Amino acid sequence: MKAVVIREHGGLDTLRVDDVPAPRPAEGEVLVRVRAVALNNIDIWARSGPPGGRPVYPWGRLRLPMITGVDVAGVVEESGPGVEGWAPGDRVVVCPILYCGRCEFCLAGEQSMCVEYHIFGEHRPGGMAELTTVPARNLLLLPDGTSFETAAAAPACYATAWRGLITAGGLRAGEDLLVVGASGGVGTAALAIGRHAGARVLALVGDAEKAEKASALGSVPIIRRDHSEFSHRVRELTRRGVHMVIDPVGAATWPESIRSLRPGGRMVICGATGGERPDLDIREVYQRHRRIIGAPMGNLADFHAVMDLVLRGVIRPVIHAVLPLEQIREAHRIFQAREHFGKIVLLP
Ligand SMILES: [Zn+2]
């Protein structure tokens, strides 16, 4: 089968589509023909090496060679031993949460806190290939009306944004929400989920073109290059600051994100693409009763809650580009240059 196998860290020129043996489904697994797979930061880091060259907490270094690809939609090809309920031809989307099902966190329904928590396409081969094997319990049936591209654009980023804004952050109708990094995968998901929750959404973006797109999604854009101290602009727009910030960027935006909060406001953090060591006086947090809430990918309930909205067409994932898998270099280039607004989807 054709697959993008990351064999070494390096530039775009290390990316190519190889011919490799097709995987076989083990006990409890299903072989899925990948019809669409979305790009995430993990695909970039697997190829370029981790940001800053440091191992990524809590997993350390990625083991190579690896076929990445966290967000997958496709068609069931074959069931492995012991699998019931799936038939060849079933259209499916993959839940990327890998968990033991036995620890106290799993038993409490918090699979993304599992002591053996891992991610599909990061710690086991994923969907940057024509075929992939998936634990049967990670499959969700795709209704006929949902395209493979739409389904693949959603899982990791939309489950993360749902977890942060709704489950962990408790966003309520009428609150003001600032989405930092609003053009990225989690950012565009947060714009949609924030509006769905009835919040007034401010969107921090990089340029005028992205501001227009954020505006078309019903949010109030703030262009960062015009407002390097964007908390001032946030306070102009809201008087006392927002009730909630979601910040998937990290060190580069943390201080201004915290300053954008009104007293008692909460900052949800779920990424460190802009650095993991912020420079901040912690009094700015506690003297204003502000709260910082860590929220990476959600649990199964978060995944199903947001996917239900996506599959019913209530929330429409924002897709920047759909490219054939052969254009994997161009996909990585767009992502790394931050030219995208929404997800980049590849078709094997
Ligand atoms: Zn567990």
pLDDT higher than 90, residue 58: no
Q: What is the pLDDT of residues 210-228, one digit of tens each?
A: 999 999 999 999 999 999 9
C-alpha 340 to ligand 1 mean position (Å): 35
C-alpha 343 to ligand 1 mean position (Å): 29
Q: What's the rounded mean pLDDT across residues 93-101?
A: 98
C-alpha 148 to ligand 1 mean position (Å): 29
C-alpha 112 to ligand 1 mean position (Å): 8
- 268 backbone dihedrals φ, ψ, rounded to 5°: -95, 130
Predicted local confidence at residue 255, as pLDDT:
97
pLDDT higher than 90, residue 69: yes
% of the chain beyond a pLDDT of 70:
100
CA distance 328 to 13: 10
Residues 6 or more apart from 339 whose CB is under 8 A from it?
none
pLDDT higher than 80, residue 194: yes
pLDDT higher than 90, residue 91: yes
CA distance 191 to 224: 17
C-alpha 126 to ligand 1 mean position (Å): 21
8 A C-beta contact, residue 343 and residue 185? yes
Which residues, in sequence order, are bridge partners of residue 243?
none
CA distance 190 to 217: 11
Predicted local confidence at residue 60, as pLDDT:
81
C-alpha 135 to ligand 1 mean position (Å): 15
C-alpha 260 to ligand 1 mean position (Å): 36
In terms of DSSP bridges, do strands 2-4 and 291-294 run parallel, antiparallel, or are they unpaired?
A: unpaired
DSSP label at 143? P
Q: What's the rounded mean pLDDT across residues 109-117?
A: 97
C-alpha 316 to ligand 1 mean position (Å): 31
pLDDT higher at 56 or 277: 277
C-alpha 103 to ligand 1 mean position (Å): 4
C-alpha 129 to ligand 1 mean position (Å): 28
Which residues, in sequence order, are bridge partners of residue 135?
29
Predicted local confidence at residue 93, as pLDDT:
98
pLDDT higher than 90, residue 55: no
pLDDT higher than 90, residue 107: yes
C-alpha 80 to ligand 1 mean position (Å): 23
Helix (H) or strand (E) holding 168: none
Distances from the Cα of 343 to the Cα of 52, 101, 109, angstroms? 24, 30, 28
- 108 burial via Cβ count (<10 Å: 0-12, 13-18, 19+): exposed
pLDDT higher than 80, residue 322: yes
* Average model confidence (pLDDT) across the chain: 96
pLDDT higher than 80, residue 51: no
C-alpha 228 to ligand 1 mean position (Å): 42
C-alpha 97 to ligand 1 mean position (Å): 11
Predicted local confidence at residue 239, as pLDDT:
86
Q: What's the rounded mean pLDDT across residues 19-39?
A: 98
Residue type, 42: I
Predicted local confidence at residue 315, as pLDDT:
97
Least Cα distance to 48 among 18, 4, 3, 6 occurs for: 6
Q: What is the pLDDT of residues 137-181, one digit of tens each?
A: 999 999 999 999 999 999 999 999 999 999 999 999 999 999 999
C-alpha 116 to ligand 1 mean position (Å): 6
C-alpha 26 to ligand 1 mean position (Å): 20
C-alpha 190 to ligand 1 mean position (Å): 27
Q: What is the pLDDT of residues 256-293, one digit of tens each?
A: 999 999 999 999 999 999 999 999 999 999 999 999 99
C-alpha 251 to ligand 1 mean position (Å): 30
Predicted local confidence at residue 59, as pLDDT:
81
Distances from the Cα of 157 to the Cα of 125, 181, 323, angstroms? 19, 13, 19
The CA R_g of the chain, rounded to the nearest whole Å, is 20
161 backbone φψ class: left, alpha, beta (φ>0; ψ -120 to 50): alpha
Predicted local confidence at residue 53, as pLDDT:
78
Other C-beta atoms closer than 10 Å to the C-beta of 62 total 19
- 37 burial via Cβ count (<10 Å: 0-12, 13-18, 19+): buried
C-alpha 186 to ligand 1 mean position (Å): 25
- Long-range contacts, stretch 285-292, CB < 8 angstroms, 24+ apart: 285/258, 288/261, 288/263, 288/264, 289/263, 289/264, 290/258, 290/261, 290/263, 290/264, 290/265, 290/266, 291/264, 291/265, 291/266, 291/267, 292/258, 292/266, 292/267
